Amino acid sequence: MKLQHTSSTTFPGELNLPVGAVGIFLGGLLMKRYKLGVVSGAQMSFVISFMAYLLLPLQSGTKCDNVQVAGLNLSYNGMLSECNRDCSCLAGEWDPVCSDNGITYTSPCLAGCSSFTDQEEDQCQQVHS
């Protein structure tokens, strides 16, 4: 998914809120349908939560390939190289850009871009090599 870093942090919250509301609604329907009291409702909640816990190992079978990030899991001759020496890059900045060779750089500056926009990099010496 290609999301901006601000969108990627709000996406889980936007997804969890309606799912939580549906869960509360369905739990209320089940309690009303089967005329469950407080203790029975708590027991039902425990059983359903335990069943969900038992399904967690299935998630270990779903994994994504690791993204190659220069300087994190891919050697990059020190984060500051020849193409970005005069840029005053901040090593802790996280605004990832992707290159056409499959390598992700932690920021446009560390990729060697002298100027960039949010959508597209211009004059990227390192990115378009």
Going from the C-alpha of 30 to that of each of 18, 22, 38, 46, the distances in angstroms are 18, 12, 12, 14
- Predicted confidence band at 69 (pLDDT cuts at 50, 70, 90)? confident
The 10s digit of each residue's pLDDT in 74-122 is 777 655 566 666 677 776 777 777 777 777 877 777 777 665 554 444 4
The 10s digit of each residue's pLDDT in 28-56 is 999 999 999 999 999 999 999 999 999 98
Global pTM? 0.45
Would you say residue 21 has pLDDT above 90?
yes
Instruction: Please report where in the chains the tokens 């942090």 appear, as a residue.
Output: 9
